[in-house]
Structures are given as C-alpha cells and as structure tokens.
A and B are shown apart, each in its own frame.
Chain A
Amino acid sequence: MRKLSRREFIGAAAGLGAALVTGCSKNEAGALESVKPHTSRLDVKNLAVASGKDPAKNTRAAVDALGGMKKLVREGDVVVIKPNIAWNRPPDAAATTNPHVVSELVKMCKEAGASKVMVLEHVIDKPAEALLSFTGIGPAAEAAGAEVRAAQNESDYRTISIPKGKLIKNDTCIKDILKADVFINVPIAKSHSSTKLTLGMKNLMGCIWDRQAWHQSESLDQCIVDYITAIRPDLTVLDANKILLTNGPKGPGNTKNVNQVIAGADPVAVDAYGATLFGLKPGDVGFIKLASELGVGEMDLSKISIKRVG
C-alpha cells in the first residue's frame, strides 16, 4: 500500500471531519476535498535574492541562501514543480519561466533525495505537448530527471474546498499537486493586462481547470488570493532573470534583463519583492494587497529578512 503524503493525510483527515459535520457535495471533478495548506519547512521570514547572469546559478544560490533544498525536500519525497508554461513563446520572450531555472530546481530536488519530480502545467496555447518543447522547459526538465506533463484533461483535476475564500469556496487543483509532499511554484515575473503583474500567486491559476470562471468573477485579484489560502506552495522561486515589461502575459513585449532569482516560503513576500522590479509598490498590485490583508503573508519588505547573494 502506498504511503500517504503529508498533504493527502491532512486533507483526508480534514475531509473526513468536514464530511461528518457538514456532509460533502460532489461535482464533475469528483468528491470535494478539504486541503490543509502546506506549512513550509522553510522560514517564512526569509527571502533570498540571487543576482548574476547565469539563471541556473542564481536559482541554486537563492535556494541555498534559504538553507538549501535538503531543508525542504526529504529522502523519498514526491515533488511537484509548477512553472509558467502557458504560452507558445520561446524562452527569450520572457512569457514563460526560464528552462534553466526549472531544470536546476529539478536537479536540486533529486540531489536532496526526491523519489520523483514532476513538472506540471495547465497549458493555454495548443498543442500543449509541443509547447512543452517550444518553451524549452520540457527537454530541460526531462534531461534533469523530471517527468513533464501538461494537465489538459478535466480528469487530471480534483475539486477542493476553499474555506477561507471570500469569493470562491471551492475550485479545482491538479491531483498530483494535492498528492505531492512538496510543491514548488516557479513563476516568471511579467506584466499582465488584467492584474498589472503576474508573479507567484497569479501563477497558481495554472493549477486550476476553469480559468474562465475567475476572469468572469467580480474580482480576479480576490480569486487569486482565495486560492492560495488553500493551495499554498512550500517554496516560490520567482524567475526574474529576464522580465516582460509590456504586453503581458503573453507578449511579445519589451523585456529587461534583471538577472535575479528570488526565493522564499512566503508567497506574498516574494511577490512584494517582484513588484518592486517593475517600479511598483507591493500595495499597487491588487492581489498582493488583498493577500496581505487576508494574512496570507507579509508585503512589508522591511519586516522580511532579505539575503542577497551573488
């Protein structure tokens, strides 16, 4: 019998409790699952900023500055890495996560003893499988030892409850993320026509089945924040090696070489730092402000210990 992951165990226990008290509703994606957000093994008060021209070195340096991948990933853990592979854009367009950032993380997870590393995304453009290759992420992550997959079928998702959500009380999540011992979110920093920017929290939109529902809701920003109260990554690694300044999220647009990778366990702090790269204050970005207000994390960077390396 397969060992239950920490998230599965907590989710199952919470789900059983909730079912006993309230009963569970079902929908097309299956039984409603209660998910207790991960509590990262990393210190949420720390943020690492690694600078340099090599995206892979920046990635390793940033994670090492937080204490190293071994602090997060244990022997035998199953890890899911969620980059941005939404668009059919080549790596230098800065619309998708830099492949070297993703492959370095895969290597680090493997070195830390992960039994399996999966790189997953709900791809927007078609054909999804070709995109994995076109963005460079598929071949790079596979070469590093990951299983790379586009979650393009509704059966890849499970319905979860979002008890702390203000606007959304349930949604979907890629099943493998729910089963994983460790979940690493790897967004790219870029402009976004609806939310000003897309950073870590917004990147989680690629974990859900029905994006359209969020766009049609009264507040996309609130949906983003609601979701992270249920699906919280253990680590966010923000790719800011090259950022997209205009015409995001897909571009093509003007880009800027920032040559940085930002890593942290607090998704709000990572995004708050990310906002400053665009000349914005964290509070200027709707979902960062709302997340801070909801107590998801810290947007006041003066309260965060920022370790600069490289």
Chain B
Amino acid sequence: MRRVIIATCILIMVCLGLANAAATPGVQQLLPKDNAVKGFKVMPGSLQYGKGEGLTNIYDGGYELYTKNGVIDAARRMYQRKSDYVEVTVHTMKSDKAAMDFLKYWQKENKVKSLTKSKGGASFIVTKPSVMAYGVKGKYFTTISAFYLPDKARQDVKAFLGVVEKNVVRK
C-alpha cells in the first residue's frame, strides 16, 4: 500500500513538472540558465515574453518590424556578472527562411560583409555602436547585447550565442 502511495505521489509530481514545462513557451526554454556562461547569473525579474502584438512587451514601438519579418514570439532575459550586463532575446520565426532573411536584414543594417556559417545556422557580431551578436539556428533568431569593454563583451556574447544554439539543437 505504502509503495502505491509513493508511486502515485511520484507520478503526480512528474505530471505537474511536465505540465509546467508545457506551459512555458518553447522559446523561453532556450534562454541560458545560471552560469551557462561562467560567472553570469540570471537577473531576477528580468524575464520578458511576448507573442504577436504582445511583442510590445519587449519592443514597444519597434515591435511592428519584428512581426512584419515573421517573428511569432520572443523571450528575453538579462544576465549579470558583477557590473557586466548581457541581454539575450530569442525569437521564434515563422520558418527557417524567415529567420535567415531577418538575420540578413540586420546584416545589411549593420553593414556587415559576411556571416559566420554553422550547421543549420549563421551569425555575426558587431562591436559598434555597442557589442551585439545576431544569430540564427533553424527557425530561431537570437540577439545578444552587452554593454561593457568591447573585447570582453565580444567573447561573452559569442559564448551566450553558443549556449542558445546548443539549447536549440537539444530541443
């Protein structure tokens, strides 16, 4: 009898866990966790999510650009390492092509000559006006901003982009 009760409890806990994971938007699950990049912790209360017109929660006046280019939803979180801040935003695009087209849009905006290609994706990093990484993996488009010394920030945004890409592959 005792075993049955324990098994039932475990089953309930598993179900609750699955339900919770299912309720969390997929794009949100792609955001890096604490220390995914060494030393960076999730800034409490920084999570933002928006879908469709709800992207105003993230972009306010800029959101129309994103919906026009095929963004379905997006999740954003801030990370902190002492006085260094990094902002990661992952967007679900309507297709792989839309994701790549949007990356190319930003490539053109930033006047970047070439993309760094990877399996199922591409990316580039700019250091002016501030350090920012743009990347695509499948149908996910990611932007990562950092606001501190460019050399250090460049390495960090690259590392964050790598974590998101791994999360996409795992998904």
Q: Is the CB of A126 within 8 A of B129?
A: no
Contact among B46, B53, B58, B145 for A130, CB-based, below 8 A: B46
The 0/1 profile, CB within 8 Å of A marked 1, for residues 112-153 of chain B is 000000000000000001101000000000000101000000
Interface string of B16-59 (1 = CB under 8 A from A): 00000000000000000000000000011111100001101111
> A252 contacts B130, CB within 8 Å?
yes
Residue A155 lies at the interface, judged by CB distance under 8 Å to chain B:
no
The interface bits of chain A over 194-205 (1 if a CB of B lies within 8 angstroms of the residue's CB, else 0) are: 110010000001
Pick the residue among B47, B48, B53 that contacts A216 (CB under 8 A): B53
B44–A127 contact, CB under 8 A? Answer: yes
- Output the least CB separation between A38 and chain B (Å): 26
Cβ B43 vs Cβ A127 within 8 A: yes
Whether A249 contacts B85 in the complex (CB less than 8 A), given A126-B47, A127-B43, comes out as no
Q: Is the CB of B60 within 8 A of A86?
A: yes
Residue of B nearest to A210 (CB): B56
User: Does A93 sit at the interface, judged by CB under 8 A?
Assistant: yes
Interface contact A130-B56, CB-CB below 8 Å: no
* Contact between B60 and A211, CB atoms less than 8 A apart: yes
Shortest A247–chain B CB gap in Å is: 7
> Are A212 and B48 within 8 A (Cβ)?
no
Bound: A198/B61 CA distance, A: 10
CB contact between B60 and one of A88, A124, A134, A255 (< 8 Å): that residue:
A124
Residues 232 to 251 of chain A near chain B (Cβ within 8 Å) = 246-251
* CB contact list, B61-98 vs A, under 8 A: 61-65, 78, 85, 87
Q: A68 in the interface, Cβ–Cβ < 8 Å?
A: no
Q: Which residue of B lies closest to A90 (CB)?
A: B147
Given contacts A127-B43, A130-B43, A253-B129, contact A215 B145 (CB under 8 A): no
Residues of A within 8 A of B57 (CB): 124, 212
Give the complex CA separation of A309 and B83 in angstroms. Answer: 38
Decide: A215 and B44 in contact? CB cutoff 8 A. Answer: no
Q: A255–B130 Cα gap in the complex (Å)?
A: 11
Smallest distance from the beta carbon of A204 to chain B beta carbons, Å? 13
Q: Is A192 an interface residue (CB 8 A)?
A: yes
Do A127 and B46 touch (CB < 8 A)?
yes
Residues B47 and A254 in contact, CB atoms below 8 Å apart: no
Size of the chain A interface, CB-CB below 8 angstroms = 32
Does A193 interact with chain B (Cβ within 8 Å)? yes
Q: Which residues of B contact A124 (CB under 8 A)?
A: 57-58, 60
With a CB–CB cut-off of 8 A, which chain B residues contact A249? 60-62
A226 to chain B, nearest CB (A): 17
Are B65 and A193 touching (Cβ within 8 A)? yes
Contact of B147 among A89, A127, A211 (CB under 8 A): A89
Q: Within 8 Å of chain B (Cβ to Cβ): is A293?
A: no
Task: Indicate if the CB atoms of A194 and B147 lie closer than 8 Å.
Answer: no
B46 and A126 contacting across the interface, CB-CB below 8 Å = yes
User: How many Å lie between the Cα of A252 and that of B134 in the bound state?
Assistant: 13
Decide if A250 touches B53 in the complex (CB within 8 Å). Answer: no
Do A252 and B61 have beta carbons less than 8 Å apart?
A: no
Kindly list chain A residues whose C-beta atoms are within 8 Å of the C-beta of B65: 193
The one of A90, A194, A212, A252 in contact with B62, judged by C-beta atoms closer than 8 angstroms, is A194
- The smallest C-beta distance from A3 to any residue of chain B, in angstroms, reads 37
A205 to B60 Cα, complex, angstroms: 10
8 contacts between A and B (CB under 8 A): A125-B46, A134-B85, A212-B57, A215-B61, A215-B63, A216-B53, A249-B62, A250-B59
Per CB-CB distance, the 8 closest pairs between chain A and chain B, nearest first, are A127-B45, A194-B61, A252-B130, A212-B56, A193-B62, A252-B129, A90-B147, A126-B46
